[in-house]
Chain A
Amino acid sequence: MDLREKLEEIKQKSLKNIQKAQDPNTINDIRVELLGKKGAITEVLRGMRDLTPEERPKVGSFANSIRDELNQAISKRNEMLEIDRTAKKLEKETIDVTLPGVPVNAGQPHILMQVIDKIEKLFLGMGYEIVDGPEVEEDHYNFEMLNLPKDHPARDMQDTFYITQQILMRTQTSPVQARTMEVHDFSKGPLKMISPGKVYRRDTDDATHSHQFHQVEGLVIDKHITMADLKGTLELVAKTLFGKEREIRMRPSYFPFTEPSAEVDVSCFKCGGEGCAVCKQSGWIEVLGAGMVHPNVLKMAGIDADIYGGFAFGLGPDRFAMLKYGVDDIREFYLNDIRFLRQFSQKG
């Protein structure tokens, strides 16, 4: 058997052993056995000195190729075993992915604040400022500056918690209008504001009445403001809060501080106007009151009613939330049952 045959034989045998090897140690042993200083191939190559000078390089390169081949086989086998081993290891690490995740216990903003936030963002985007006013208010701003002198029958529309004859819990956010108009500098531009906040009425609490609720007052005063502008603005409010498909309609109404005045209905978001229980079969839901600011109100605030005019509106986040989310008892908003508060966690 010449050297070539020997090498060939070693190769065949070793390849088999490599394929059979199941762990890196065995493979290492094979490698040492073959390619180490005392390995089989090294041993064979020692026999090279018996060869003719012509044969030597040929056998040499043959031996090298076999060594490379075996080296390759070894590292390939090693890789395969590594993959195998990793796979086995990972398999052992398998978990039940259906076990529950660790809860993130974030708190929720109150649903009324979410509604107010939506309204605020809409109007900030249209260049309105947000103005806050006192909750304990003067009769002067709550009524008189709004064209509601003492003994005006329209005062019956709002039962009032008085503290003294002159001081009361505000019944509406409209007094913020009066306060803001009084101080606004029109040389610096038009007045565009909304005023969200708590209001109070002398009412007995039940499912549909609360002695405390929220309002968002809106007011725009400038030189060329029209009732058509009011209509467009309110349409935007309706679409933002109740959905893109909503339409509005206005009906004549009466507020002492606006003239003309309107009650505003939005097309029913439940049935789309077909008629259902939510809209009492009418297809429309009354959502807010609005109108063109009464010239008396402008005059009382020191604004020239011949030059300036504008619109005002008032809407009720409590009512909005009740309609939109189907809350059937207004008291839920103020009892703060955690099961109620946590329901409204959906963002967007």
Chain B
Amino acid sequence: MKVSTKWLNEYVPVIDLDRSVLAEKIARTAVEVDDDYRLDEGLKKVVVGHVLSMEPHPDSDHLNICQVDVGEAEPYQIVCGAPNINSNMNVIVALPNSWIGNHTKIKKSKMRGIVSMGMICSLQELGFSDSVVPKKYADGIYILPSDAVPGQTIFSYLGMDENIIDIDITPNRADLLSMRGVANEIGAIYNHNVKLPHPVISETTEDEINNYLTKVSAPANLAPTYMMRIIKDVKIKESPLWLQARLWNAGIRPLNNVVDVTNYILLDYGQPLHSFDYNKMGSKQIIVRLANEGEELVTLDGEKRLLKDTDIVVTNGDKPVALAGVMGGLNTEIDSNSTLIALESAVFNPSKIRKTSRRENLHSEASMRFERGINVATVGEALDAAAQMIAELGDGQVVANAIKVNEISTNDRIVEITTTKINATLGTNLTENVIKDIFERLGFGVQLESGTFKVAVPVRRWDIEVAADLIEEVARLYGYDNLPTTLPTGPTTPGHYTDKQRLIRQTCALMESAGLSQAISYGLTTKAKAQRFTLEKAKTTELDFPMSTEHTTVRMNLVSGLLDDIAYNAAHKNNDVALYEQGRVFFRDDQNDRPREVEHLAGAITGLFNQATWHDSKTVVDFYLTKGIVDYLFKELGLENVKYVATNAHEEMHPGRTADIYIGGELVGFIGEVHPNILKEYHLGKTYVFELDLQKLIDMDKKEQIYQPISKYPKVTRDIAMAVDKSISNAAIIDCIKQNGGKYLTDVTLFDVYEGEHVAKSVKSLAYKLIFNNPEATLKDAEVTEAFNEVVEELKKKFKIAIR
């Protein structure tokens, strides 16, 4: 809401206040201030000019040479290209060396050889927005009233010589969507008296509204109150300049004297009004009802609206003539021939208005106010004020009486609050007098009975319903700055992470120490990407009305997001990327609309894991490097009995380079190389990924950490190198060694794998180091040999190995 301070000053004295101080006061006490400004800021030497004469420019088909009286002894010669210029009109003149809008300086110049002493201006050239310039002057210069005095500064004529404060209203403070509401607020902030004028209506006694309207009806659930007046013999014309200026200063485009008055009253009272051309109504009835499904109405903006049975419409008993509270119908629009005006002032059901305006994406000044609430105490007063003003500005007459359907209570609301409660909530020690004073400044009635305030809140502050609302009024007017600063006291509580939270955070730290950086990808993705790389069969969870095709479905895996990230990196020439993500995936079943949320962990690595340096050679990412990271995680989390089982069951993964991961027999995730088809889709080179159900890892039993005495006796190592059929897995061999290595075998490690030259094609060469140790005595060579031979024999028997 753009608040005119001159207008405001008519109700409450503010004009002597420093503008920035006033804006600051509002921002700190009431609502946010978006901007405070003057329209004439930076403008200089722009005056009223009277075009004395005009002749065409000899070298131009559209320029005119005008002689303009600017209040000086001699007229100024100004060249003007506006199509609507004519002699004997008053215009806006930017004198030589003046400043107009957009930081533009106007100098004496020559236009096609003819001297021009300045410029005749349009409103846009003074900095007006296109959206507020009257249509008539949209493509030309603005024409001032005939009584404008040449030479006088233009700013006061156009209402530019005042401060405008643009306030940003929170949904609860719709009372500030009116000048009167703002005046009351300013009065409270500054403790100034507010003087609001009230209309005196003069009706003709010769004519009566019942002559025009025989039936007006509106169900109370749709229109808690509905009023109408008729103004006759109205002449449609341009509004006086002061009125136009009030509208454009508030961001509203002037149209004609009738519509302008309804907008003016809207700004003044916050009461939306609608004016119908009575002669176009086609009946003597006004029936407010719900629309029939499929009924049509062309609104004032020219749009054909297909109505639903939740829309409130105003009808002539047959057809809709307005989408109630949102926008009028084109069929009853006021035009230059209108003489008989039916003026509506009403309150409409806010949730219905909201539904309609949201569906139709039609957010008007009226619908916004009906949605958020209006001052029900001034529905009739606003109607009277508007009717009287239309009659005055249109040389017409207000027909006797108003029609009023449905009565709405305008009684004060009594809300009780105690001083104790206020102080207990705010942490203050305010006295009863201080509190009473604040309520009185707000214009609330106050009765104090044994510590309890009975506060009578007028309906113009409909946001105040409960005691807490009164506490806020006290707090903000007392000043948030004046509240003390303390910390909560009371029983101490332990603050700690839950086991799950701690393990999640530790997992992240482990990933980082393993060399992976944390990514946070989008939780919403495409349906296709959501369904890939999943660990569980589940239904998708999709948005009803997505904003973009890229984000329609809640993710069911983390790998897809990481591949998006890696693709983004690749597109920016970052070819070596190691990322992990910890977050939720969402699995839904048939019975529920809401999915189960499961904590997952995933990694994706591509390119080089380590760059070649002068010191070391490069490390290219591969399956085993990735597996090492996962192994490290399991080890650090104390997870044992990990098994990697080769699988070709994941469609998105390389069928020969992927393993499902089991811990203690339970499937917890997978690891492997992404399928070349997917990599191609993302334009990526070889990429290795893993996805783990972190919740399962968290829930699993962890290894007990118990001190293992460090052996005082030396360990003995034996190496074994063997040739074995390629189909035999390392895991099988290790199992076999461990089972047969005897009680002193403490560790087995694979230290060489070889395939190729010097070994048969079907065979690989493997070398293991076996470590033996007896914690209680020095091992004898014979003991070790015996155990070692046992292993060799068993390997030969089981896997037909050849010792190399």
Instruction: Find A163's partner among B480, B517, B541 (CB 8 Å cutoff).
Output: B541
Asked if A338 and B545 sit within 8 Å, CB to CB, the answer is no
Q: Is the CB of B501 within 8 A of A132?
A: yes
Within 8 A of A (CB), among B477-511: 480-481, 483-498, 501, 505, 508-509, 511
Within 8 A of B (CB), among A92-146: 99-100, 102-103, 105-110, 112-113, 117, 123-130, 132, 134-138
Chain B nearest Cβ from A126, distance in angstroms: 6
* Contact between chains at B595 and A222 (CB < 8 Å): no
Q: A100-B614, A129-B496, A211-B551 are in contact. Are A134 and B487 (CB under 8 A)?
A: no
Contacting residues, chain B, for A231 (C-beta < 8 A): 480, 483-486
Give the residues in chain B near A322, CB-CB below 8 Å: none
A295 to B470, CA, bound (A): 12
Q: Is B568 an interface residue (CB 8 A)?
A: yes
A203–B546 CA distance with the chains assembled, in angstroms: 10
Cβ distance B433 to chain A, nearest Cβ, rounded Å: 21
- Report the minimal beta-carbon distance from A259 to chain B, rounded to whole angstroms: 4
A315 on interface, CB distance cutoff 8 Å: no
The answer to whether B475 and A260 touch across the interface, beta carbons within 8 angstroms, is: yes
Stretch at the interface among B349-357, B645-653, B744-752: B349-357
CB distance from B761 to the nearest CB of A (A): 38
**A212 and B523 contacting across the interface, CB-CB below 8 Å:** yes
The A245-293 residues at the B interface (CB cut-off 8 A) are 249-254, 256, 259-263, 292
| Chain A residues whose CB sits within 8 angstroms of the CB of B512 once the complex forms | 106-109
Known: A190-B490, A335-B568. A212 touches B522 (CB 8 A): yes
Q: Is A348 interfacial (CB-CB < 8 Å)?
A: no
User: Using an 8 Å CB-CB cutoff, how does the interface string of B510-539 with A read, 1 for contact, 0 for none?
Assistant: 011111111111111000000000000000
Q: Contacting A251 at CB < 8 Å: which of B32, B351, B594?
A: B32
Whether B493 contacts A129 by the Cβ 8 Å rule is yes
Q: Does B597 contact A (CB under 8 A)?
A: yes
Is A254 a contact of B171 with CB atoms below 8 Å? yes
Interface status of A309 (Cβ within 8 A of chain B): yes
User: Which of B23-31, B231-239, B735-743 lines the interface with chain A?
Assistant: B23-31
User: Is B642 located at the chain interface by the 8 A CB criterion?
Assistant: no
- Name B471's closest neighbour in chain A (CB-CB): A260
Given the contacts A200-B524, A228-B485, A166 and B593 also touching, CB distance less than 8 Å: yes
Whether B475 contacts A227 by the Cβ 8 Å rule is: yes
B546 & A252 in contact (Cβ 8 Å cutoff): no
| Complex interface: chain A residues within 8 A of B516 (CB) | 107
CB distance from B246 to the nearest CB of A (A): 26
Give per-residue flags for B21-46: 1 if the beta carbon is below 8 A from chain A beta carbons, else 0.
00000011111100000000000000
Q: Which segment, of B61-69, B386-394, B575-583, B701-709, faces chain A? A: B575-583
Q: Which of A123, A125, A227, A253 counts the most chain B CB atoms within 10 A? A: A227
Does B308 have its Cβ within 8 Å of any Cβ on chain A? Answer: no
Is A124 touching B496 in the complex (CB atoms < 8 A)?
yes
Tell whether B173 is near chain A: CB-to-CB under 8 Å: yes
Segment touching A, from B217-225, B422-430, B675-683: B422-430
A313 contacts the other chain (CB 8 A): no
Alpha-carbon separation in the docked complex, A203 to B522 (Å)? 14
- In the assembled complex, the CB of B177 is this many whole angstroms from the nearest CB of chain A, namely 12
Does A327 count as interface, using CB distance less than 8 angstroms?
Answer: no
Q: A323 to B385, alpha carbons, bound, how many Å?
A: 50
B125: CB under 8 A from chain A? no
User: Is A207 an interface residue, CB under 8 A from the partner?
Assistant: no
- Which chain B residues lie closer than 8 Å to A100 at the CB level? 613-615
- Digitize B455-477: 1 where CB-to-A-CB distance is under 8 Å, 0 elsewhere: 00000000000111101100110
A259 partner residues in chain B, CB cutoff 8 A: 466, 468-469, 471-472
In the complex, per-residue mask of A193-224: 1 if CB is within 8 Å of any chain B CB, else 0: 00000101011110000011000000010111
- CB-defined contacts of B565 to chain A, threshold 8 Å: 335-336
Within 8 A of A (CB), among B543-580: 543-548, 551, 554, 565, 568-569, 572, 574, 577-580
A329 shortest CB reach to chain B, Å: 13
User: Would you call A226 an interface residue if the criterion is a C-beta within 8 Å of the partner chain's C-beta atoms?
Assistant: yes
Q: Which residues of B contact A198 (CB under 8 A)?
A: 523, 583
For the complex, give the distance between the alpha carbons of A192 and B489 in Å: 12
Query: What residues on B are CB-neighbors of A334 within 8 Å?
Result: 520-522
Question: What's the minimum C-beta distance from A288 to chain B, rounded to whole angstroms?
Answer: 14
Q: Which of B481, B493, B516 has the most CB of A within 10 A?
A: B493
> What residues on B are CB-neighbors of A256 within 8 Å?
171
Contact A151 B568 (CB under 8 A): no
Does B495 contact A292, Cβ atoms closer than 8 Å? no
CB atoms of B519 and A229 under 8 A apart: no
Q: How far is the CB of B219 from chain A (nearest CB, A)?
A: 18
| CB neighbours of A157 from chain B (8 A) | 171
8 Å CB contact of B354 from A125, A151, A211, A336: A151
Q: Using Cβ atoms and an 8 Å threshold, which residues of chain A touch B29?
A: 252
Stretch at the interface among A20-28, A45-53, A232-240: A232-240
**Interface presence of B586 (CB below 8 A):** yes
Establish whether residues A336 and B486, one from each chain, have CB atoms under 8 Å apart when the complex forms: no
B351: nearest chain-A partner, CB-CB = A151
Contact B594 A167 (CB under 8 A): yes
B616 at the interface (CB under 8 A from A): yes
B19 to chain A, nearest CB (A): 15
Kindly report which residue of chain A lies nearest to residue B27, judged by CB atoms. Answer: A251
Q: B170 within 8 Å of A by Cβ?
A: yes
- B693 interface hit (Cβ, 8 Å): no
Among residues 603 to 632 in chain B, which have CB atoms less than 8 Å away from a CB atom of chain A? Answer: 609-611, 613-616
A-chain residues with CB within 8 Å of residue B494 when the two chains form the complex: 127
Name B771-798 residues within 8 Å CB distance of A.
none
Residues of B within 8 A of A339 (CB): 572, 574
Cβ contact within 8 Å between A164 and B578: no
Give the shortest distance, in Å, between B351 (CB) and chain A (any CB).
4
Closest to B544 in A: A162
Question: B354 to chain A: which residues have CB within 8 Å?
Answer: 151, 153
Interface members, chain B 366-385 (any A CB < 8 Å): 371-372
Is A337 engaged at the interface, CB distance under 8 Å to the other chain?
Answer: yes
A117 nearest in chain B by CB position: B505
Complex CA gap A342/B580 in Å reads: 13
Cα distance A104–B471 in the bound complex, in angstroms? 57
Contacting residues, chain A, for B517 (C-beta < 8 A): 107-108, 110, 338, 341-342
B485 in contact with A333 (CB, 8 Å): no
Contact B427 A228 (CB under 8 A): yes
CB-based contact B519/A341 at 8 Å: yes
Q: How far is the CA of A204 from the CA of B549 in the complex (A)?
A: 12
Distance A294 CA – B465 CA, assembled complex (angstroms): 12
Let me know if A169 is at the binding interface, CB within 8 A: yes
Partner of B486, one of A202, A220, A232, A295: A232
Contacts of A185 in B (CB 8 A): none
A80 within 8 A of B: no
Interface residue A156 (Cβ < 8 Å from any Cβ of B): yes
Which residues on the A side are within 8 Å of B711 (C-beta)?
A: none
Check if A167 sits within 8 Å of B472, measured CB to CB: no
- In the complex, what residue of chain B is closest to A222 when comparing beta carbons? B490
Cβ contact within 8 Å between A102 and B541: no
Query: Cβ of A107: which chain B residues have Cβ within 8 Å of it?
Result: 511-518, 578, 580
A166–B524 Cα distance when bound, in Å, is 19
Residue contact A167 to B593, C-beta cutoff 8 Å: yes
Q: Given that A109-B508, A336-B519 are known contacts, is A228 also in contact with B428, CB under 8 Å in the complex?
A: yes
**Distance of A198 Cα from B599 Cα, bound (Å):** 13
In the complex, the answer to whether A220 meets B488 with C-beta atoms within 8 Å is yes
Complex contact B518–A109 (CB within 8 A): yes
Please name 14 pairs of A and B residues whose Cβ atoms are closer than 8 Å in the assembled complex, sorted by A. A106-B512, A107-B511, A107-B580, A110-B519, A154-B172, A190-B491, A198-B583, A202-B547, A211-B547, A228-B484, A231-B483, A232-B487, A337-B574, A338-B574
Given contacts A117-B505, A169-B543, 11 further A-B contacts (CB under 8 A): A105-B515, A107-B514, A108-B518, A129-B493, A136-B586, A192-B495, A224-B424, A249-B28, A250-B480, A252-B30, A260-B468
What are the 7 A-B residue pairs with the smallest beta carbon separation, nearest first? A228-B427, A226-B427, A254-B170, A260-B472, A151-B351, A336-B565, A124-B495
